């Protein structure tokens, strides 16, 4: 009977993070991608209402034989700004923000630290057989920077990277997780994120200004225009409130860009009290964000992969069998080693009263019990090799016993 081979799967199908993928892994979103629909509605809804208002003004002016060309240009500008805003919204929320590839196993022994420092915090939760320092120092632009070990991704995070608890990924140059976009903001989408919030700010100011001019234009009776034009009133109030949020966010990130900080670093490290190792000057900081080449993704989510085996960590300490364990238990362990190599321990030896033999040997050889543990120590040190030798000795013993019995018969 032939065993069916598992069908090959793409990386996005076995992805361990909390992301959601669309179009066969071509688009990657956060787990709270549903909030993206709300953000789209909050942008497109008022923009559509504004265009409807402008179209009504154009029809009214044409009906009265007044020039309406300027109002056409007003509508075109609004449509262009809205499309740009939606474009940057889509780019920010649907691309890899800079996810760091996670390890399937903890670092090798050459990365462990053997010394025991009381003041050092050790990582032993998921790696009980290794002692890994919680943090280690790396040099960045001549400055010592601490990087932390990630228990989930089993790696030391690169400088400026952090683990997002929502997406369950370590992200390069992690800024924050945006709940309005349902996506992490990192090294590969920060540029588009700033373009999104700045375009939203410009759009709010534009709609607010045009709506206000439209009401003030009725110089004869402004109050009547305010009470009769409900749509313009709504747009003025909505844009006035929204601009404080997106405008304030744009100004804040403008400051972060000029000083080469992330939101996470600004709230956590406070570089105003110590030197920022990433600050290259205002001009170079802006060039790094807006004019540098965006690094390629470290993942090909459409590539075929083999799903990683579930990691089962067993203690590697050779003292996992205590000295107080009985000889019966140790021989059982040796028999299991032999069975793994295709050999079985005879039933006659499985029923041996090992406790009595061990007690006699201790009286004869002393309290150390060296001879009684000699066989078991060989099994513990080299189980694969000595299990075979022990079973060969057992087979020879049984054969000789059978030969003696046949001769006596």
CA distances from 403 to 345, 347, 393, 407 (A): 19, 19, 15, 6
pLDDT the model gives residue 356: 54
- Selecting among 150, 164, 178, 184, the annotated active-site residue is 178
DSSP string, 318-364: GGGS-TTS-HHHHHHHHHHHHHHTT----HHHHT--HHHHHHHHHHH
pLDDT the model gives residue 249: 97
pLDDT the model gives residue 142: 85
pLDDT the model gives residue 52: 95
- Sequential pLDDT tens for the chain (409 residues): 456 667 788 999 999 999 999 999 999 999 999 999 999 999 999 999 999 999 999 998 899 888 888 999 999 999 999 999 999 999 999 999 999 999 888 776 444 444 444 445 555 555 555 667 888 899 988 888 999 999 899 999 999 999 999 999 999 999 999 999 999 999 999 999 999 999 999 999 999 999 998 888 766 676 777 778 889 999 999 999 999 999 999 999 999 999 999 999 998 877 666 788 999 999 999 999 999 999 999 999 999 987 654 333 333 333 333 343 444 444 444 444 444 444 455 554 455 555 555 555 555 544 444 444 444 444 445 545 544 555 555 556 545 555 555 545 4
Phi, psi at 225, each rounded to 5°: -65, -35
Please give the Cα distance from 323 to 381 (Å, whole number).
14
pLDDT the model gives residue 372: 44
Q: Do 237 and 49 touch, CB atoms closer than 8 A?
A: no
pLDDT the model gives residue 400: 59
pLDDT the model gives residue 127: 53
Q: Give the DSSP letter of residue 166.
A: T
DSSP lists the bridge partners of residue 21 as 28
pLDDT the model gives residue 157: 94
Please give the Cα distance from 290 to 208 (Å, whole number).
28
DSSP lists the bridge partners of residue 99 as 171
164 is a catalytic site residue: no
pLDDT the model gives residue 318: 36
Q: How many residues does the chain have?
A: 409
Q: Is the pTM of this model over 0.85?
A: no
pLDDT digits (tens, 9 = 90+) for 121-144: 555 555 555 667 888 899 988 888
Phi, psi at 253, each rounded to 5°: -75, -25
Q: What is the domain partition of the chain in residue ranges?
A: 9-98+185-305, 109-171, 325-408
Q: Do 179 and 167 touch, CB atoms closer than 8 A?
A: no
């Amino acid at each position: 009977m032939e065993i069916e081979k598992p069908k090959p799967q793409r990386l996005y199908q076995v992805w361990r993070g909390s992301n959601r993928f669309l179009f066969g892994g071509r688009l990657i979103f956060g787990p709270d991608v549903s909030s993206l629909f709300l953000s789209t509605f909050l942008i497109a809804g008022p923009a559509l209402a504004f265009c409807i208002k402008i179209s009504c003004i154009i029809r009214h002016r044409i009906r009265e034989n007044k020039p309406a060309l300027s109002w056409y240009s007003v509508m075109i500008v609004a449509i262009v700004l809205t499309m740009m805003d939606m474009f940057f919204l889509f780019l920010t929320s649907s691309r890899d923000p800079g996810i760091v590839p996670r390890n399937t196993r903890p670092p090798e022994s050459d990365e462990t630290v053997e010394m025991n420092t009381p003041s050092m915090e050790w990582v032993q939760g998921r790696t009980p057989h290794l002692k890994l320092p919680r943090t280690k120092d790396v040099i960045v632009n001549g400055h010592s920077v601490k990087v932390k070990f990630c228990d989930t991704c089993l790696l030391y995070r690169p400088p400026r990277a952090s683990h997002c608890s929502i997406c369950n990924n370590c992200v390069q140059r992690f800024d924050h997780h945006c709940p309005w976009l349902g996506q992490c903001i990192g090294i590969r989408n920060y540029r588009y994120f700033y373009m999104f919030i700045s375009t939203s700010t410009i759009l709010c100011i534009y709609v607010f200004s045009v709506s206000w001019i439209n009401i003030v234009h009725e110089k004869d009776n402004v109050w009547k225009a305010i009470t009769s034009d409900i749509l313009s009133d709504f747009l003025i109030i909505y844009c006035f409130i929204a601009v404080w949020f997106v405008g304030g966010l744009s100004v804040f990130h403008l400051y972060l860009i000029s000083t080469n900080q992330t939101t996470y670093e600004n709230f956590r490290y406070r570089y105003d009290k110590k030197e920022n190792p990433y600050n290259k000057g205002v001009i170079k900081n802006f060039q790094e964000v807006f004019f540098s080449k965006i690094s390629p993704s470290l993942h090909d989510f459409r590539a075929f992969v083999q799903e990683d085996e579930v990691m089962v960590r067993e203690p590697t300490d050779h003292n996992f069998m205590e000295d107080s364990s009985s000889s019966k238990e140790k021989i059982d362990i040796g028999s299991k080693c032999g069975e793994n190599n295709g050999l079985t321990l005879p039933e006659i030896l499985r029923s041996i009263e090992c406790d009595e033999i061990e007690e006699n040997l201790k009286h004869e050889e002393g309290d150390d019990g060296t001879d009684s543990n000699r066989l078991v120590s060989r099994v513990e040190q080299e189980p694969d090799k000595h299990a075979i030798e022990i079973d060969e000795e057992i087979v020879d013993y049984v054969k000789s016993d059978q030969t003696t019995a046949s001769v006596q018969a």
